[in-house]
Structure 1
Amino acid sequence: MSSNAKIVLRKKTNKEGLYPLAIRITKNRRSTYQYIGHYIELEDWDEKNIRVKKSNSNSENLNSLLSQKLSEANKALITLQSEKKDASANQIKKEIYSSANSSTFFELAQEHLDELESAEKLNRLSTDKAWVSFIIKFNKSKQLSFQEIDERFLKKLMLDLKVKYSLSETSIMNILVLIRLLFNRAIKLKIVSRELYPFGSDKIRIRFPETTKIGLNILEIQRIENLKNLSPSETHTRNVWLYSFNFAGMRVTDVLWTKWSDIYDNRLHYRMNKNSKLLSLKIPEKIVQILEFYKDGKRSEQDFVFPELKKANLEDAKDIYNKRKTATKKFNDNLKSIAKKAEINKKITMHIARHSFGNIAGDAIHPLMLQKLYRHSDLKTTLNYQANFIHKDADKALDSVINF
């Protein structure tokens, strides 16, 4: 029986509940899979036409990538079928993808960056590209095998990043996370032996320093709401910030992507940009007032509520990314002056709206409900938003000892 390759959606989900795309290689009714490295929701897969539906924001790029991968696999199969007629599915897979077995660290890093660009994850692309450049500077060459990345190499890298480039502990840990991700990929591809894995409790440990992002309290938010002496730009920034806060700390990317068509039945229905999860929230009265402010600029139901993306080329992911990045910087600059006018000494950014919601939620909202509102896959992530604010039990314990 001849061998064949086909694009499939595997039914085993990752931690986020998304399904992996893969190339299935079959020979004599036995199959093996080569994963593409991208995940989607089940409802975004068109089983009949074997493609990603348009409901997925990255459908065009993903379908293009899938066609490319399938074409590469089929070309390799044609060659192999004439040379190794009795090869098993696993042997065929090994032959097709064996070129990866000699890949260097930076070759695999480039594949990772290319995947991020194809998936239009431009924020992550920008960050990881910067991390890779630091590793190149340290290594002074793009020739680096995974076998060379041992504990000694990583310790010297960490010291160099801290002393020579003055990177923060958090940035250094993020670089190690990227190296670990690529090292794990190299192990799966059999580029390097698992025995050489340099990370673990008895080797290099990745420990992020504790960070404190203090959210605003109710009185501080009320001061911002009641400010009168704001410029038009500051007023717009306040509206966007309060929109984010009142929708449970909605991320600024999702705020700017809000369209009038997302608002119906007195609810906001949207898909989170970060993890593609669907969310539906009741529209609070304070949000109704903000929406009224922008109704005069409404051109159609498909128009954006806020102006930042109205002139963006929606076919160009980089243009969208740049406009969002520029807008966020402008918002954060305006929030500095808003904080000063409101006599608030805390640092306020767009992301602090999210921490402020967690601050005020405190122990009034169960962490599991806050997790649901935030759509976090891991409860630990949610607890980080409340960790700095749940003081009641600790305060009571302290008082029980010292109040005598």
Structure 2
Amino acid sequence: MIQFKIVYRSKNKKLRKDGTAIIQIIAYQNRKRRYISTGLFVEPRYWSNRLNQVIDHPQAAEYNAEIKRQLNELEVFAFDWLRQHGAITLEELNHHLKYKDSKSFTEFWKYELEHDTRLQKGTKKKHQTALNYWIAFQKDVRFSELSFRLIRDFDTFLFGKGLHINTVYTHHKQVKKYINLAIRQDLLEPNKNPYLKFQVKTAPTERIVLSREEVAQLEAMTFTKENRHLDLVRDMFLFSCYTGLRFSDTCAIQYEDIDQDKEGMTLNIVAKKTTKQMLLPLYRLYERKPEAIIQKYKDEVMHERGPVFHKYTNQYFNRALKELAKLVGIQKPITSHVARHTFATHLASKVPIHILKAILQHSKIETTMVYLHLSSKLVNDALDGVDW
């Protein structure tokens, strides 16, 4: 357990130029200690070592109440942490105090973003972009300043930059993430979350989906010496069309992630975005076409270790997909996301919706339902073109 003690002039024996010295709280454990500033300074004649409090000072009552408040806050935090986790160290206390000292939500956001090793590169970039807009809106926001009015003004600021409504929604989403993180770390009271009163708006987006005929066009493509570099891009895109994998997961597949038995290949990975394990029987999908793509590259390298595909940047991959679409005559703006949309839409009419939800690793059934509606739309559009 951590012990706390109030001290005066403990670290610096010299007085400040105004003749005052600081009052501190020592947290100590196993001969280690941490000095915590109370932010209060008094002259030596106003401090009683025997009583551990300010005496004969014009603001003695106020100062002593503040010292007790801070000491009580530390003791309550230590007790709650001990009750929840069974033990507490000075390191946990330091982490708690890191933001208590500054009381800056912006600094909290900066620190958490910088030290979160779980975020993928693309996700971290989104969070940083939102943080950049937040700082441009107001350089430093303290926890006490988080309010409905502040968030509303931030919303107005974003729209003033000419951002699309869904881009504004994305930036609000990042702000909400770090506010909720601060609440979980007991840096902000849950009832002071400004988003309890502010509703962020979004607009429906069109999901681009390839028809079976368009997928067949990509499958039938042949390449010349000049555009041979597009062969791998095409195969990676088709692999996602057959499996529903996100672009980041397709890039990361290793030969070691593929289990082979008498029935065929099974992909065994941990999804980058959800960190959930995924077991995908490739031999059961699209007449074993995913297996054929894996085997194609396995035969080329003649080994069973290392990456199957290539770790392209999303920007390069999307530019290459535009080249592919132009070569084959597809008049749709194809991106890496289109492959996953295509898989989900085509499968929506073939399997129960909860099975599709599990394969896509959606957290909400409403997200999966979108693909059921898209599947129905594809059927209706196809029927519209029939000359009865």
When the two structures are superposed, what TM-score results if normalisation uses the length of structure 2? 0.68
Superposition deviation, residue 98 in structure 1: 4.1
| Mapping of residues 167-178 of structure 1, within 5 Å | 167-178=163-174
With CA pairs under 8 Å and 6+ residues apart, which has the higher RCO, 1 or 2?
A: 1
Superposition deviation, residue 388 in structure 1: 2.7
Distance 2:192 2:125 in 1: 29
Q: Which of the residues 363, 366, 370 maps onto 1:384?
A: 370
Q: 1:77 to 1:250 in 2, by over 3 A?
A: farther
Question: In structure 2, what is the equivalent of residue 155 of structure 1?
Answer: 152
Question: In structure 1, what is the equivalent of residue 21 of structure 2?
Answer: none
Superposition deviation, residue 303 in structure 1: 1.6
Say if 1:214 and 1:388, in contact at 8 Å, map to a contact too.
Answer: no
Superposition deviation, residue 161 in structure 1: 1.4
Distance 1:255 1:207 in 2: 32
Which amino acid in the other structure matches residue 154 of structure 1?
Answer: I
Q: Which of the residues 68, 79, 83 maps onto 2:33?
A: 79
Distance 2:29 2:177 in 1: 30
Matched, 1:107 2:96: no
Question: In structure 2, what is the equivalent of residue 301 of structure 1?
Answer: 304
Which amino acid in the other structure matches residue 388 of structure 1?
Answer: L
Distance 1:190 1:295 in 2: 51
Which amino acid in the other structure matches residue 225 of structure 1?
Answer: E
Cα deviation, 1:154-203, whole Å, max 9, x if unaligned, reads: 2222222122x222211211221222222233334444444433223xx2
CA RMSD of aligned residues (A): 3.4
Q: 1:219 to 1:153 in 2, by over 3 A?
A: same
Which amino acid in the other structure matches residue 162 of structure 2?
Answer: S
Report the number of matched residues: 301
| Mapping of residues 164-243 of structure 1, within 5 Å | 165-200=161-196, 203-229=197-223, 231-243=227-239
Superposition deviation, residue 131 in structure 1: 0.7
- Of all paired residues, the percent bearing the same amino acid is 22
Distance 2:293 2:277 in 1: 23
Say if 2:242 and 2:289, in contact at 8 Å, map to a contact too.
Answer: yes
Matched, 1:123 2:109: no
Question: In structure 2, what is the equivalent of residue 254 of structure 1?
Answer: 249
Distance 2:93 2:298 in 1: 59
Distance 2:93 2:195 in 1: 30
Question: In structure 1, what is the equivalent of residue 58 of structure 2?
Answer: none
Question: In structure 2, what is the equivalent of residue 373 of structure 1?
Answer: 359
Q: 1:215 to 1:261 in 2, by over 3 A?
A: same
Which amino acid in the other structure matches residue 152 of structure 2?
Answer: K
SS in 1 for 2:210: coil
When the two structures are superposed, what TM-score results if normalisation uses the length of structure 1? 0.66
Say if 1:269 and 1:280, in contact at 8 Å, map to a contact too.
Answer: yes
Cα deviation, 1:334-383, whole Å, max 9, x if unaligned, reads: 21122123222222111111000122123222111111211223222222
Say if 2:143 and 2:188, in contact at 8 Å, map to a contact too.
Answer: yes
SS in 2 for 1:390: helix
Distance 1:341 1:171 in 2: 31
Question: In structure 2, what is the equivalent of residue 319 of structure 1?
Answer: none
Question: In structure 2, what is the equivalent of residue 355 of structure 1?
Answer: 341
Matched, 1:337 2:323: yes
Distance 1:99 1:254 in 2: 36
Superposition deviation, residue 95 in structure 1: 6.0
Distance 2:291 2:184 in 1: 51
Question: In structure 1, what is the equivalent of residue 279 of structure 2?
Answer: 280
Q: 1:123 to 1:74 in 2, by over 3 A?
A: farther
Which amino acid in the other structure matches residue 125 of structure 1?
Answer: K
Distance 1:199 1:153 in 2: 10
Distance 1:126 1:299 in 2: 37
Say if 2:348 and 2:371, in contact at 8 Å, map to a contact too.
Answer: no
SS in 2 for 1:268: strand
Distance 2:245 2:30 in 1: 46
SS in 2 for 1:388: helix
SS in 2 for 1:384: helix
Q: 1:76 to 1:148 in 2, by over 3 A?
A: farther
Which amino acid in the other structure matches residue 148 of structure 1?
Answer: E
Distance 2:134 2:99 in 1: 21
Say if 2:223 and 2:231, in contact at 8 Å, map to a contact too.
Answer: no
Distance 1:170 1:162 in 2: 11
Distance 2:379 2:324 in 1: 34
Runs of 5+ unmatched residues, structure 1? 5-72, 310-323, 400-404
Between structure 1 and structure 2, the one with the greater Rg is: 2
Say if 2:254 and 2:305, in contact at 8 Å, map to a contact too.
Answer: yes
Superposition deviation, residue 151 in structure 1: 2.2
Distance 2:339 2:217 in 1: 14
Distance 1:343 1:107 in 2: 50
Q: 1:275 to 1:187 in 2, by over 3 A?
A: closer
